[in-house]
A and B are shown apart, each in its own frame.
Chain A
């Protein structure tokens, strides 16, 4: 079974045509990989489907806009994968 990171990295690679080997756990989806908000909708759709979750993007964006969180907390891939794992765990609880 692929790791959360592998699944997410493959989705990003296929959705945004980014070479898979350039996508690292410490990559920032926006700052390092150059993913814009429209492309991120496609990624979010694929992640939601792959993991059977609904990533709370509106809440995350609001927290960033309000200065309560940094983009790294949600859009650096290792952190994003940790959030996904939490959502998957919460779903099964």
Chain B
């Protein structure tokens, strides 16, 4: 996890296009300036960043399902529940499932578990648009490689 670059997941563990599910993982850094303010004496991973981590996980699922033809942009959040504190150094197991692929939008459910305990979950809706330009698409390809996106799954999905 590189919070300062807004990269909130480390690796795509599994992408299952038949079931329309994804699993990712991330490790909360031991130190970050964010923890100096959130909070002094009680460093906690901010809930908004946990939600973004779920959105990035679900977003890669949507990219996989749409076979890199659409870029998902976070549009709506429902039923978000932050169930327990997440602290520096913890490893997160994230997952998401596609509930519906509409025309120009997708609805997903996502969750984060720490030590097998549900830490947060939400329903996340994305707007889907064509990649706005070649540079943007190239940056996503680069990020996909960094996260070990299983390109082979696209051929079999």
Residues of A whose CB lies within 8 Å of any CB of B are: 38, 41-42, 44-45, 48-49, 54-59, 61
Contacts and interface: CB of A to CB of B under 8 A. Distances in A.
Contacts of B105: 41, 44-45, 57
Interface of B: 75-76, 100-105, 107, 125, 127
B127 A41 contact: yes
Most buried by A among B75, B104, B125: B104
Contact of B125 (A41, A58, A59, A61): A41
10 contacts: A38-B75, A41-B76, A44-B103, A45-B125, A54-B101, A54-B103, A55-B103, A57-B103, A58-B104, A59-B103
A49 B100 contact: yes
Contact of A57 (B76, B100, B104, B107): B104
Interface of B is mostly: strand
B72 to A, nearest CB: 12
B75 A57 contact: no
Nearest to B99: A45
B102 A44 contact: yes
A62 B102 CA distance: 16
A45 B107 contact: yes
Nearest to A48: B102
B100 A48 contact: yes
Given A38-B75, A57-B104, A59-B103, 17 more contacts: A41-B76, A41-B105, A41-B125, A42-B125, A45-B105, A45-B107, A45-B125, A48-B100, A48-B102, A49-B100, A54-B101, A56-B103, A57-B102, A57-B105, A58-B103, A58-B104, A61-B104
Nearest to A44: B102
A45 B105 CA distance: 9
Given A41-B127, A45-B107, A54 B76 contact: no
